[in-house]
Amino acid sequence: MKSTITTAFIVCSSFFALAGENDSLEISFFSKDKDKINVNPKVDSTLSVIDSTDSVIIHIDTIDIAESNSLELVLCKENANFFSDEITYFELGEIPVNQGLFEYHCSLKDFQVPMQYNQLVKDQIDYFGTRWQSNLKEMVTKSQHFFPLYEEILTEYKLPHEIKYLSIIESGLNPHARSRCGAVGAWQFMPATARIFDLKMDYNVDERRSLDKSTRAACTYLKQMFNQYDDWLVALASYNCGPGNVRKAMRLSGSKDFWGIYKYLPRETQNYVPKFIAMTYLMNFYDEYGIVPSSIQDSLYSSEQVYCKEGYDFEIIAERMGMSNEQLLSFNPELKRSNIPYKGEGYLLNIPQNSSYLYYENEEDIESKSIVRAEEKRIAEANRPKVTHHYVQKGESLNLIARKRGVTVSQLRMWNGIKGSTIYPKQRLKIYR
């Protein structure tokens, strides 16, 4: 049996390869004023090379090759960082993947989490690859900045590297993400769970937004769940709905594997694991379907760390770095205010990539000005009026209270938002000294 491969060469300086196994793609190209690429499933395998700047086919060459279990095509890529904001459109809004192609692709990777194909997973692949495609393209690009840290920590905790894709399902790789129910960060920790795993939350910081600390907390949680259930899919389900709901589903179903307890899990969790499998698949094989990563503002995610000695002032650091407080805060998502939470050991502050020289060149100036600023703040705090409270007693009036406290009636009205002279017993009045 023979398979026919049609290769289209396109004028370009950087190009992208699309190859399929058994299920192939027919691609219709449009000129630059058309903002789409149509992809239709075909019987034959098709290789298409597409251009980022133009779409003029200059040569068509058809060759025959013998049938084999896999087709390996080696293409020279002049530019590995190929980006496009164009959306790839698929016939019927479905990704042309079946169980055979899915299992073949997954066999090329060393996945430790079971990658099982069924209609639930297929539905999620179709959703992420079509309606969610613009976000998927962004995730591929953002992952280049997030995943090196994730992989380092996952290796440290001896966990499967594909766990990193869970952060996309949870937050879309957004450390500032906040759900309607109060979960925060790239790994979406609720306050109670965050405290269990020693993530600090106070007026100055929210460590759920720290990529390093929250990833470690997520690894600790997932490792505990896997040790308890000996099943990665069940461990992932537990991360979403909690071990209590998992135990309940096991009791009702009499099963201990995810697909066995599936019907007894909360609806959100029923979709959660298929979403994870689908996302893991597409993040590894998006290019097989003509999906190209989109460009992002890399400077927002490229950072390095500098050591700040105890007492360095955040605002002065930002000033000497030529940044606003908001810009510097964007590189330090765990900080809620323009204030560094020193604990007697200094602090590692994130700054834009390749700008540490600027910090260290100005460190002496930062240190001296921080000392002056700290003294100014101490004096201002000492001179700041202290608030006390007076609880109104029966029979007291504003005039009587003003005389007792050595203030004026006008001041009492201003401090407490009182328009007339009416006050009530047990009412608490603020008095500044």
Count of CB atoms within 10 A of residue 109's CB? 14
Q: Among the listed ranges 45-49, 203-207, 262-266, which one has the minimum average pLDDT value?
A: 45-49
Q: What is the DSSP letter of 295?
A: P
Between 29 and 297, the higher pLDDT residue: 297
Res. 428: pLDDT tops 60? yes
Strand partners, 307: 348
Rounded Cα distance, 406 and 344, in Å? 43
Rounded Cα distance, 227 and 249, in Å? 18
- Among 100, 115, 97, residue whose Cα is nearest residue 70: 100
- Alpha-carbon Rg for the chain, nearest whole angstrom, is 30
H or E, element range at 279: helix 267-285
Band of the pLDDT at 2, cuts 50, 70, 90? very low
- Residue from 162, 170, 207, 334 carrying the catalytic annotation: 170
Band of the pLDDT at 345, cuts 50, 70, 90? confident
With tokens 């993530």, the residue in question is 199
Tell the burial category of 3 from Cβ atoms under 10 Å away from its Cβ (0-12, 13-18, 19+). middle
| Domains, the chain, ordered by start | 1-82 (no CATH), 96-297 (1.10.530.10), 302-370 (no CATH), 387-432 (3.10.350.10)
Tokens of 46: 């098709």
Distances (CA, A) of 97 to 41, 94, 203, 393: 9, 8, 49, 78
Question: Which residue type does 87 have?
Answer: I
Q: Among the listed ranges 47-61, 165-179, 185-199, 227-241, which one has the minimum average pLDDT value?
A: 47-61
Rounded Cα distance, 311 and 313, in Å? 6
Mean pLDDT of the chain: 83
With tokens 């962004």, the residue in question is 138
Exposure of 147 in the CB half-sphere (CA atoms within 13 A): 18
Res. 33: pLDDT tops 70? no
pLDDT digits (tens, 9 = 90+) for 372-396: 999 998 888 888 888 999 999 999 9
Percent of the chain with pLDDT over 70: 81
Q: Among the listed ranges 47-61, 169-183, 234-248, which one has the minimum average pLDDT value?
A: 47-61
pLDDT of residue 296: 85
Please state whether 22 falls in left (phi above 0), alpha (psi between -120 and 50) or beta. Answer: left
Beta carbons of 185 and 175 less than 8 angstroms apart: yes
- Among 301, 298, 295, 366, residue whose Cα is nearest residue 331: 301
With tokens 């000695």, the residue in question is 309
The answer to whether 170 is a known catalytic residue is yes
Band of the pLDDT at 342, cuts 50, 70, 90? confident
With tokens 């050595």, the residue in question is 406
pLDDT digits (tens, 9 = 90+) for 69-101: 333 333 333 344 688 889 999 988 999 999 999
pLDDT digits (tens, 9 = 90+) for 133-163: 999 999 999 999 999 999 999 999 999 999 9
pLDDT of residue 190: 96
What integer is the mean pLDDT of 319-327? 94
pTM above 0.85, yes or no: no
What are the phi and psi torsion angles at 58 (to 5°)? -105, -10
H or E, element range at 270: helix 267-285
pLDDT digits (tens, 9 = 90+) for 156-205: 999 999 999 999 999 999 999 999 999 999 999 999 999 999 999 999 99
pLDDT of residue 81: 61
As a whole number of Å, the end-to-end CA separation of the chain is 94
Res. 35: pLDDT tops 50? no
Beta carbons of 280 and 140 less than 8 angstroms apart: no
Distances (CA, A) of 45 to 120, 123, 226: 26, 23, 40
pLDDT of residue 58: 26
Exposure of 204 in the CB half-sphere (CA atoms within 13 A): 7
Count of CB atoms within 10 A of residue 373's CB? 15
pLDDT of residue 318: 95
